[in-house]
Amino acid sequence: AMSTPVFTVDENDPINEVAAKMANTKLGSALVVDSENMVSGIFTVTDGLRALSQAWDD
């Protein structure tokens, strides 16, 4: 059986770096992992747009 590699980012990665990685890989979401590689959340394109709009308002 074929498996798809899982795209992960560290929970301490800056949002702009995560967004750039997602854009380069054309993926719509990334699993967020902690220092022990345990999943702590998921980051989506919508989350990135929300962060951008909030930063724009500041």
Whether 43 maps to a domain, the answer reads yes
Residue 19 in domain: no
Q: Is residue 4 part of a domain?
A: no
Number of domains in the chain: 1
Q: Which residues pair with 8 in a beta bridge?
A: 31
Place of tokens 């702009």: 16
The continuous run of DSSP H or E covering 39 comes out as strand 39-44
In the chain, the N- to C-terminal Cα span, in Å, equals: 48
Domain of residue 47, residue span: 28-58
Residue 19 to residues 1, 11, 35, 41, Cα–Cα distance (Å): 30, 13, 20, 15
Q: What is the pLDDT of residue 27?
A: 86
The model's pLDDT over 6-56, given as tens digits with 9 standing for 90+, comes to 889 999 999 889 989 988 988 899 999 999 999 999 999 999 889 889 988
pLDDT at 55: 87
Q: What is the pTM of this model?
A: 0.78
Q: Give a yes or no: residue 54 inside a domain.
A: yes
Per the domain annotation, does 3 fall within a domain? no
Rounded CA gap, 38 and 27, in Å? 20
